[in-house]
Chain A
């Protein structure tokens, strides 16, 4: 089986490890990328004839490294030219030797480093994502441009600029210590989640789900988790993305309007993806080390387990928010917790929680939406109307405004 689709998938899958190893070897991103590109070209020629290699990543590293060295020698003209097809014609089995030399621990840090250098703090978040899609995922400039809804020329320019920033920064090629590794994992996880969110929610205007970005983020999450199988936050991150993405098709109606969780047709949720997410949440929780991705995934898991909205275990949601609040105090988290509290202990208790949030969330759409709903439940119609009116003013999308207007209509009837 050496059809083009298979070769494409094999090269896509090999790319992060191969480029990462070539980067460690050459310590230059351009050389590493070119070397991998050369290996891909040779793969397209060689694999259909010679059959697929046992380990495509190792093959690409070996072939890519040799071709880049050849290129350097050719340029320097110091050494005699090596045979063009040295690799294919040699008697020894270079692939087996290569596989032996590449132990998985080096792979781990190589791939992590490659992802990490895309997360330059000097680059805006969207550029970090774009660069990661280009370098780690190997998406074409055209694919990235269309995912970001910009022209190809604009994206090419952005990528060139971003790469220039990356080249200037110093990257540590030594094996990172545990603390540094943990920091890198955190940074990379944040970038992957940003990538996911870029696909999940268009900021403002017409909302839609850009599936390829979500799927690429999940693929990178799984890749990291394969390399770091005990990292609970990577489990949590991957679970969170799976649980959210499982609901993607139910999240939009036929007119591309957002359907809120309670109104979604749960039969349209992707069960396979949900189940994988649920297992990962449980696996992460076993270690008893709470983290923000893990807790957010746990929240999504509670919703995923409820067959109908009224089956939702709100007291569990309240508990998870309490842990999240302690771990990462934020008025938005308190607001979300208040919603759970209203379901468990009633609207009055929830409204009380909202009081200290009036200042920090004074221009936050959801604050007034929640406040209005709670006041409505307590029969304080006039105050509810006031809150809903404020919410409408702060709505960022037509769907948000429409949702509040529906609540206002219910108040009047």
Chain B
């Protein structure tokens, strides 16, 4: 069984971290990821850019494109895609085509990406 592990934290705090703190946290996480990779168990890993870069595509009668991250608390995170896009506009059009007539999709660029093994 594959599991997706989602990382949450207060962004404003991360942005106030010292370089040492940032390095310590990242080193600890990278050590775990490295061990998983050696065991052939690590799929794609990505570090998201700040929420200030995010846009949200919301499906309704007509598809809405909004500035900012997905902020509703009444809907739950149900899935995730990693897509290589030429531009933000390109990413938004992928999200629009995925949206269909239901749900919301947040489009957020990745700051870092590790493709991992092709999971079967």
Partner of B15, one of A8, A219, A275, A280: A219
- Give the residue of A8, A9, A225 whose beta carbon is less than 8 angstroms from that of B52: A225
Which residues of chain B have C-beta atoms less than 8 A from A223's C-beta? 12
Cα separation A272 to B14 with both chains bound (whole Å)? 16
Can you name the residue of chain A whose Cβ is closest to the Cβ of B55?
A283
> Chain A residues near B111 (CB, 8 Å)?
272, 275-276
Residue of B nearest to A55 (CB): B10
Given A272-B111, A282-B87, A286-B89, do A226 and B18 touch, yes or no (CB 8 Å)? no
Number of A-B pairs, beta carbon distance below 8 Å: 71
Q: Using Cβ atoms and an 8 Å threshold, which residues of chain A touch B14?
A: 9
Asked whether A10 is an interface residue with its Cβ less than 8 Å from the other chain, the reply is yes
Q: Give Cα distance in the complex from A14 to B12, angstroms.
A: 8
| Interface status of A334 (Cβ within 8 A of chain B) | no
A13 engages B88 (CB within 8 Å): no
B84 at the interface (CB under 8 A from A): no
Interface positions, chain A 276-306, Cβ under 8 Å from B, are 276, 279-280, 282-283, 286
Residues on B with beta carbons closer than 8 Å to the beta carbon of A230: 67-68
Cβ–Cβ contact A283 & B53, under 8 A: yes
Q: Which A residues are in CB contact (< 8 Å) with B112?
A: 272
**CA–CA, A8 and B13, complex, Å:** 9
Question: Using Cβ atoms and an 8 Å threshold, which residues of chain B touch A244?
Answer: none
With the chains together, A9 CA to B20 CA distance in Å?
12
Taking a contact as CB atoms under 8 Å apart, the answer to whether A279 and B16 are in contact is no
Does any Cβ of B come within 8 Å of A397's Cβ? no
Asked if A48 CB lies within 8 Å of chain B CBs, one says no
User: Digit string of A49-72 for contact with B (CB within 8 Å is 1, else 0)?
Assistant: 000000010000000000000000
Indicate whether B51 reaches chain A with its CB closer than 8 angstroms: yes
Contacts of A56 in B (CB 8 A): 10, 13
B11 within 8 Å of A by Cβ? yes
Interface check B17, CB cutoff 8 A: yes
B34 CB–A CB distance under 8 Å: no
Give the Cβ gap from B16 to chain A, nearest Cβ, in Å.
4
Chain B hits for A283, CB < 8 A: 53, 55, 67, 88
How far, in angstroms, from A270 to B75 measured CA to CA in the complex? 36
The answer to whether A229 and B52 touch across the interface, beta carbons within 8 angstroms, is yes
| Given A13-B10, A13-B15, A219-B16: A6 in contact with B53 (beta carbons within 8 A) | no
When distances are taken between beta carbons in the complex, the residues of chain A under 8 Å from B43 are none
The answer to whether A108 has its CB under 8 Å from any CB of chain B is no
A128 on the interface (CB 8 Å rule)? no
User: Interface size of A by Cβ–Cβ distance < 8 Å?
Assistant: 26
> A179 an interface residue at 8 Å Cβ cutoff?
no
The B-contacting residues of A in range 203-234, CB under 8 angstroms, are: 219, 222-223, 225-226, 229-230
| A342: B residues at CB distance < 8 A | none
Contact, CB under 8 Å: B15 / A282? no
Say whether B12 contacts A5, CB under 8 Å. Answer: no
Q: How far is the CA of A219 from the CA of B14 in the complex (A)?
A: 10
Interface centre among A5, A14, A238, by most chain B C-beta atoms within 10 angstroms, is A5
Which residues of A lie under 8 Å from residue B89 when comparing CB positions? Answer: 282, 286
Distance in angstroms from B22 CB to nearest chain A CB is: 10
Residues of B within 8 A of A226 (CB): 11-12, 51-52
A9 touching B109 by the CB < 8 A rule?
no
B67 touches A275 (CB 8 A): no
B53 touches A280 (CB 8 A): yes
Q: Which residues on A sit within 8 Å (CB–CB) of B69?
A: 229
Q: A13-B10, A13-B16 are in contact. Are A279 and B109 (CB under 8 A)?
A: yes
- Chain B residues in 8 Å Cβ range of A279: 49, 53, 88, 109
Min CB–CB distance A355 → chain B (angstroms): 39
Determine which residue in B17, B55, B67, B68 has the highest number of CB atoms from chain A within 10 A of its CB, and name it: B67
Q: Cβ of A13 and Cβ of B52 under 8 Å apart? A: no
Q: Mark A334-371, 1 if CB is under 8 A from B, else 0.
A: 00000000000000000000000000000000000000
Complex CA gap A307/B41 in Å reads 35
Tell me the smallest distance from the CB of B70 to a CB of chain A, in Å: 12
Report the separation of the CA atoms of residues A222 and B14 in the bound assembly, to the nearest whole angstrom. 12
Closest to A9 in B: B16
Report the separation of the CA atoms of residues A272 and B111 in the bound assembly, to the nearest whole angstrom.
6
Report B37 CB to chain A, min CB distance, Å.
21
How close is A14's CB to chain B, nearest CB, in angstroms? 8
Chain A to chain B: the 4 pairs with minimum beta-carbon distance, closest first: A229-B68, A13-B12, A12-B16, A13-B13
13 A-B contact pairs sorted by A residue (CB < 8 Å): A10-B13, A13-B12, A222-B15, A223-B12, A226-B12, A226-B52, A229-B68, A238-B52, A272-B111, A272-B112, A280-B53, A283-B55, A283-B88
Give me 16 other A-B pairs in contact (C-beta within 8 A), A10-B10, A275-B111, A279-B88 excluded: A6-B21, A9-B16, A9-B21, A10-B13, A10-B16, A12-B16, A13-B13, A13-B16, A56-B13, A219-B15, A223-B12, A229-B68, A229-B69, A275-B109, A276-B109, A279-B53
